[in-house]
Structure 1
Amino acid sequence: METIIRKSNVFLILILVGFISCNSDNTIFDTYKTLDNGIWKADDPIEFSFLITDTISRNNVFINLRNNNAYSYSNLYVIANLNFPDGRKIVDTLQYRMTDNEGNFLGSGFSEIKENKLFYKEQKTFPMSGEYSVSIWQAMRKNGEIDQIKELKGISDIGLKIEKIE
């Protein structure tokens, strides 16, 4: 009986060690900002600042977004500025698909709120150490209109996540 208990304890420890080693966290930065009343105002950029010390490793950078059923569009346009410690910046205009062909929201979640992990920069190496910042604006317009939507409804949270690639 004692041998069976010892073997099961060893087996349990091996499973636990394997589980922990498979779940190594490569997250460098992960923060969300909550929008008041689920409205993203056109003149209100969402800003994130983070410190980079590793200038060799490659990273994936994601814009994380939580939307609900009040979001009435099948896509999302954003403008993102990546600001370097030396003052240089890269400006990107990005489009993300938010629904499938039937109009169902993409993303994960069982409730009305869907969480989307959207690629911003793939395999990005930050060339210098120091404090970086990212500013994100919504750039949505209705079809055929020039003016930007002033208050985009249905976006509750916006986040930025940086994951080191192993």
Structure 2
Amino acid sequence: MHRVFGAILGLICFTSCDKTAVFHEFKSLPDHWQSDSVVVFKIEDLDTLAHYNAFISLRNDNSYAFSNLFLITDMQFPNGKTITDTLEYEMARPDGTWLGSGSGDLKESKLWYKENIQFNEAGTYTFSIKQAMRGNGDVNPIADLEGIRDVGLRIEKTKE
């Protein structure tokens, strides 16, 4: 009982001391990430003069069968302009050891998305993330990607 209470207290202290994050949210996925399933985050009230770094946070388990991950992201500005990126992330070392932090079956990875960006329009920014993994020689994405448990977005204010 004391260990559980200590772990919860430590987690609260650790997260409350993080003054750089202005947004950090995870969305849980079902048993698999469908190729047509889009994870969406909406952010409002960002300082239009500040600079930020954006990260995609992922939690994967041992059922993830690949050493990399392809994602397609959209960042939609309040005026409707959209920036689309196709991103590839390394998820494991060549020996199969998972990258990221955590122990046991679940690993968490903090992946660079955008560096030193400025949200110079007031209003709501919408971030969309979907998986784009394909088998070797396949044109279509994997319909039901297993092993990715949670997808998150983290926005940090840069140190000026």
TM-score norm. by structure 2 comes to 0.87
Count of equivalent residues: 145
Q: How far does residue 135 in structure 1 lie from its aligned partner after superposition?
A: 0.5
Give the counterpart of 1:115 among 108, 115, 136.
Answer: 108
Q: How far does residue 164 in structure 1 lie from its aligned partner after superposition?
A: 0.2
Give the counterpart of 1:103 among 87, 96, 109.
Answer: 96
Which residue pairs with 2:52 in the alignment?
59
Which residue pairs with 1:159 in the alignment?
152
Which residue pairs with 1:79 in the alignment?
72
Aligned pair 1:29/2:26, yes or no? no
Give, in whole Å, the separation in 2 of the partners of 1:26 and 1:145. 41
Whether contact under 8 Å (1:52, 1:129) holds in the other structure is: yes
For the residue of structure 2 that corresponds to 1:136, the secondary structure is strand
Which residue pairs with 2:133 in the alignment?
140
Unaligned runs of 5+ in 1: 1-19
Query: Runs of 4 or more off by more than 6 Å in structure 1?
Result: none
For the residue of structure 2 that corresponds to 1:110, the secondary structure is coil
For the residue of structure 1 that corresponds to 2:156, the secondary structure is strand
Q: How far does residue 24 in structure 1 lie from its aligned partner after superposition?
A: 5.3
Q: 1:24 to 1:46 in 2, by over 3 A?
A: closer
Whether contact under 8 Å (1:80, 1:137) holds in the other structure is: yes
Residue identity matched to 1:33: K
Q: How far does residue 127 in structure 1 lie from its aligned partner after superposition?
A: 1.7
Give, in whole Å, the separation in 1 of the partners of 2:75 and 2:94. 32
Residue identity matched to 1:123: N
Q: How far does residue 111 in structure 1 lie from its aligned partner after superposition?
A: 1.2
Post-superposition Cα deviations, 1:22-80, rounded to whole Å, max 9, x if no partner, equal x451211110000012x110001000001133111111101000000000001000000
Residue identity matched to 2:52: N
Aligned pair 1:128/2:110, yes or no? no
Structure with a larger share of its residues in helix: 1
Further displaced range: 99-108 or 51-60? 51-60
Give, in whole Å, the separation in 1 of the partners of 2:20 and 2:110. 16
Whether contact under 8 Å (1:52, 1:126) holds in the other structure is: no
